[in-house]
Structure 1
Amino acid sequence: MLNDLDLNLLKVFIAVYRHKSITLAAEEMGMTQPGVSGLLKRLQQQVGSQLFVRSGRGIAPTHHAQELIRHVEPALIQISNALESLNGFSTHHPHKFVVYTSEPVMLMLLPKIEADVTLGNVTIELQPTHSNEERLLHGLNQHQADLAIEFTEHATNAFFTEALFDDQICVIARKGHPRVSQNITREQFYAERHITLKLRREDAYLADYFTEESLRDRTVAAECTSLVSQMSMVSTSDCIATMTASIAKQFADKLDIQVLKLPFTDIPIQYRLMAHNRVRKSPSNIWLRDKLKSYFE
């Protein structure tokens, strides 16, 4: 049986298993639905077992499919990594990486990527991270991105994380503010009107999420979903805002804003690289992780 086995059949099987859909598997592999169905039928004939059954509008794996994926997927990952390691990863060959990340990290990373003359033929594309944890993990699992940059831990054994850099939060106010200058007290913090930023996935304001104290209600003038709009509104009003210090310092001079120490005990924002376990030893993914770390050294 092993002599007659086509590894492409196993690649099709894994794609169908991940998507639970022949249509989506065909789209991922650039094939037609009949082509995927035909290869899947050949594999089922070779293993002598039915691998999928109809379930609602899609298909569901049988017990035999679950056993097969448990043994086959790790083996194919090892084969892929071994073949990739023969020549190592080279920037001389065209390669596109996709990285999920948040707006603050995008604002920091893009100038570094554009200024990097060592990338060669490699492209690193930044995409906004998903506001839903399930969709984020699904995207990484389905090869829609090579890795994500996150500041929250995810309770799953299928993914690994590595430290990237630490950030902190601060308060910003426009230069020339009538009441706030160089520093801000807790009393002033509560007395001023705020431009707030809400973390959608955590369903909490940034200021509340990254402080040890429980903050009291503030007077909210406007709520933003973007750091850029938050900074712009602060620069043209007498409102204050709480945001990440790295971005505030990056745009302070351009937007004519003050960067002030938070009058509370802040919790460090610990950004981490996150990827699926199957790419942990992949030379290309190792290169990408090392490259991103080098931008924050």
Structure 2
Amino acid sequence: MTRIDLNLIRTFVVLYEVRSVTLAAERLFVTQPSVSHALGRLRELFEDTLFTRSREGVQPTFVAEQLYDTLREALTRIEGAVQGVRQFEPATTERRFRIALSDLGEMGFLPLILERLNREAPRAEVEVLPLQVDQVGDWLASGKVDAAICRPPVPGSRSQALIREHYVCLLSEDHPRIGTRLDLPTYLGERHVEVTRSSGHGSAEDVLKAMKLERRIALRVPHFSVLPKILPGTELLSVLPAQIACMFAAEGGLKVLELPFEVPAFEVSLHWRASSEKSAALEWFRRTIAEAIIDGQRC
């Protein structure tokens, strides 16, 4: 095995990551038969089936598991070297960029990012992957995503702080008992909407527990995105990051008040893998993301 087509390595890596011939074809911009043909050649080269069919798609064999890290690293290095010497032109690029975002990121940051990209690189494509904090480090290292935006640190990645955030209270603008200020007894006396802790935003609840205080929960929901539909015209209160709260309030029917107790502020950062810094395209992508979000802060 002295000559290996680079496209075969790329097909192997993508198929390993997505575990689906259909998804691999979509990501590689080829047909499913092309992926199947490439897989056949890979099986001949490595004298192994590499992937077996399952109800969920395809599963790697032991040999494929052993090959993946080496081939992924080799592919990343080769692509980085090629991209590093190419001149990147945003106005004409048709490149696909991949970014991992939480549901809050999709609501608050994605419109800002797309507005900037549509202006500077109208033919570029963006693919958004739902953020999984426990996997994003591996996604960056393997090249599954080019960048990620999240609150927690990502071990092994480079990062840039984008905004410093804090939590606020969001409620109906015509709440019958709350005007322009909110004190602690009033806050505790009202009923609340809680966004489940799986969202990664449980700091306010932690502070209240440390103070041995408890709020009355009327509704628990998994995502912040439903709040603009739920809160107007009710007496319910909710806690969320200020950027999103201000965006929701700007749509009408809601107002934003500071919390009557102190919750630590936090930074939201952009993360990327160090090896991608050699790519002019990815350097431009990161810079564009950062500028769009920093320039677009609402409050």
TM-score (norm 1): 0.75
Tell me whether 1:285 sits opposite 2:287 in the alignment. Answer: no
Task: Output the aligned Cα RMSD.
Answer: 3.8
Shift of 1:195: 1.8
Moved more, 25-34 or 248-257: 25-34
SS of alignment partner, residue 247 of structure 2: helix
Deviations 1:144-167 (A, max 9, x none): 64332211234x54x554322221
1:247 corresponding residue in structure 2: 244
Give distance in 2, aligned partners of 1:179 and 1:101: 36
Equivalent in 103, 117, 120 of residue 118 of structure 1? 120
Paired amino acid for 1:243: L
2:93 corresponding residue in structure 1: 93
Are 2:93 and 2:124, in contact at CA under 8 Å, matched by a contact in 1? yes
2:224 corresponding residue in structure 1: 227
Deviations 1:121-152 (A, max 9, x none): 2233545434x734x56766776643322112
Give distance in 1, aligned partners of 2:127 and 2:4: 37
SS of alignment partner, residue 196 of structure 2: strand
Shift of 1:258: 2.7
Shift of 1:81: 1.5
Shift of 1:82: 1.9
Shift of 1:262: 1.3
Give distance in 1, aligned partners of 2:112 and 2:18: 35
Tell me whether 1:148 sits opposite 2:148 in the alignment. Answer: yes
Paired amino acid for 1:104: L
Are 2:192 and 2:218, in contact at CA under 8 Å, matched by a contact in 1? yes
Deviations 1:199-248 (A, max 9, x none): 3254x746325779456332122223343432343221122221111122
Give distance in 2, aligned partners of 1:228 and 1:20: 30
Q: Share of identical aligned residues, percent? A: 21
Shift of 1:5: 4.1
1:274 corresponding residue in structure 2: 271
User: Closer, same or farther in 2 for the Cα pair 1:112/1:73, shift >3 Å?
Assistant: closer
Task: Map residues 212-223 of structure 1 onto 2, 5 A cutoff.
Answer: 213-214=210-211, 216-223=213-220
Are 2:113 and 2:288, in contact at CA under 8 Å, matched by a contact in 1? no
Task: Map residues 114-263 of structure 1 onto 2, 5 A cutoff.
Answer: 115-116=115-116, 117-126=119-128, 128-130=130-132, 133-134=134-135, 145-154=145-154, 157=156, 159-200=157-198, 202=200, 205=202, 207-208=204-205, 213-214=210-211, 216-263=213-260
Give distance in 1, aligned partners of 2:86 and 2:175: 59
Give distance in 1, aligned partners of 2:226 and 2:51: 50
1:103 corresponding residue in structure 2: 103
Are 2:174 and 2:233, in contact at CA under 8 Å, matched by a contact in 1? no
Give distance in 1, aligned partners of 2:115 and 2:17: 37
Are 2:149 and 2:271, in contact at CA under 8 Å, matched by a contact in 1? yes
How many residue pairs get aligned? The number is 285
Paired amino acid for 2:148: A
Are 1:162 and 1:274, in contact at CA under 8 Å, matched by a contact in 2? yes
TM-score (norm 2): 0.75
The structure with the larger Rg is 1
2:297 corresponding residue in structure 1: none
SS of alignment partner, residue 200 of structure 1: helix
Shift of 1:26: 6.7
Give distance in 1, aligned partners of 2:181 and 2:218: 21
User: Closer, same or farther in 2 for the Cα pair 1:215/1:242, shift >3 Å?
Assistant: farther
- Unaligned stretches of 5+ in structure 1? none
Paired amino acid for 1:195: V
